[in-house]
Structures are given as structure tokens and as C-alpha cells.
């Protein structure tokens, strides 16, 4: 009789142990299912589909910090393009400079005013000069705010009889602002200054 009771007690402990293992396993499976479902839902929320010209294009959402260096460099590139790309047409010059000044603070306006007072833009128009900027490299330090940057490039001035190549090195800082149609990246260039701008070579045309 004691032997039967002992067997019953052993069997009960085995059943209890098996039940506990089963409960723990079921709990783990449920938790994994919830986690997988949550991860799948987040991935689906970050994916959208765009219909363009009858084609379905897939797009992904991303945090700004993931693309911060890329957006910062493009903002700097756009600013320099608009500020230094000039043609012998007052409307083109005004249009480009206006676009550039939306991307920077008063330091850029001060540079523009200095060039205007010195007759730089009048000389561009009267001399039929076209100017373009070629950006070689842009360094942005995103470890500290506001973000310091240095832009290195060249200016090409095409005159009737010659083409002049100038070095161009500028530096400044970027701070965050609200995005807008005039400032799609949501940055503003501050304390911008030209630290080198000298003739490198002159070629006859």
C-alpha cells in the first residue's frame, strides 16, 4: 500500500513537472509570437507604396538621424550651388541668391552685400561672365551641435576669351529649423565665411 502511494506521489510530481515545463514553453511561444507580430507591424508601418505613372514604387520611412550627414551635406551643396552659380543675367543672379539666402543666416547676406557693393555682380553681367561651382568635398561634424562644416571646391569663371579656375574653401555651422518649401532639409547655415578664394589657373579659350 505504501508502495502504491509512493508511485502515485512520484507520478504526481512528474505530471506537475511536465505541466510546469509545458506552461513555460507555451508562455515563451506566446511572447515570441507577440514580439514577432509587433516587429512585423512596425516594419509594415515604415513602408509605403507610391503610385507613379502606373508603376508601384516602394518607399521606407526613416528617422532623421539616420540620414543626418547626407541631408546636411546636400543642404550645404545646394547653398553653395545657388550662391556661386551665376550667369550674365540679373534675374538669374537674383533668383539664385534669393534661394541661397533662404538656406543661411545674416552671415551669407553680409557676404552678398559686400560683393554687391564692390560691383562683383555688375561685372558678371557687363563682362558676360558665367560662374559655376564644383564641390570636391564636404566635411560635417555631427558629434556636436550646432554642426560644424567645411566645404572645399572650385569656382570656374568662363569669360569671352579665358576661363579662370579659383579655389573655394568655406566653413560655418548648421542648426536645425523647421522644414519648408524654401528649406526642405530643415537646416540653417550660421557664421558662414569664405576662408580661401584665390586664382589657381587661367586658360585661354
CA distance 71 to 138: 12
pLDDT tens-place string over residues 11-61: 667 777 777 777 888 888 878 878 877 777 665 555 665 655 556 555 555
User: Which grid coordinates are listed for 182?
Assistant: 524654401
Buried b (16+ CB within 10 A) or exposed e, 178-195: eeeeebebebbbbebeee
Confidence of residue 2 (pLDDT cuts 50, 70, 90): very low
Alpha helices, DSSP H, located in 46-105: 64-84, 90-101
- Using alpha carbons, select from 45, 41, 131 the residue that is nearest to residue 81: 131
Task: Give 137-177 as a 3 state SS string.
Answer: EEEEECCCCCEEEEEEEEEEEECCCEEEEEEEEEEEEEEEC
The yes-or-no verdict on residue 163 having pLDDT over 50 is yes
pLDDT tens-place string over residues 103-115: 999 999 999 999 9
Mean pLDDT of the chain: 85
Q: List Cβ neighbours of 126 (8 Å cut-off, separation of 6 or more).
A: 88
pTM for this predicted structure: 0.69
CA distance 134 to 86: 13
Amino acid at each position: 500500500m505504501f508502495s502504491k502511494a509512493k508511485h502515485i506521489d512520484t507520478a504526481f510530481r512528474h505530471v506537475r513537472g511536465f505541466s510546469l515545463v509545458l506552461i513555460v514553453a507555451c508562455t515563451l511561444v506566446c511572447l515570441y509570437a507577440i514580439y514577432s507580430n509587433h516587429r512585423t507591424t512596425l516594419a509594415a508601418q515604415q513602408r509605403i507604396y507610391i503610385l507613379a505613372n502606373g508603376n508601384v514604387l516602394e518607399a521606407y520611412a526613416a528617422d532623421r538621424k539616420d540620414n543626418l550627414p547626407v541631408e546636411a551635406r546636400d543642404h550645404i551643396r545646394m547653398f553653395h550651388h545657388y550662391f556661386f552659380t551665376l550667369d550674365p543675367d540679373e534675374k538669374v543672379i537674383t533668383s539664385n541668391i534669393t534661394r541661397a539666402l533662404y538656406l543661411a543666416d545674416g552671415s551669407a547676406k553680409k557676404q552678398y552685400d559686400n560683393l554687391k557693393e564692390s560691383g562683383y555682380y555688375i561685372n558678371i553681367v557687363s563682362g558676360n561672365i558665367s560662374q559655376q561651382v564644383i564641390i570636391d568635398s564636404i566635411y560635417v561634424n555631427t558629434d556636436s551641435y550646432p554642426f560644424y562644416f567645411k566645404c572645399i571646391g572650385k569656382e570656374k569663371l568662363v569669360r569671352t576669351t579665358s576661363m579662370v579656375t579659383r579655389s573655394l574653401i568655406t566653413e560655418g555651422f548648421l542648426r536645425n529649423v523647421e522644414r519648408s518649401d524654401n528649406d526642405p532639409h530643415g537646416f540653417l547655415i550660421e557664421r558662414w565665411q569664405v576662408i580661401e578664394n584665390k586664382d589657381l589657373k587661367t586658360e585661354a579659350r
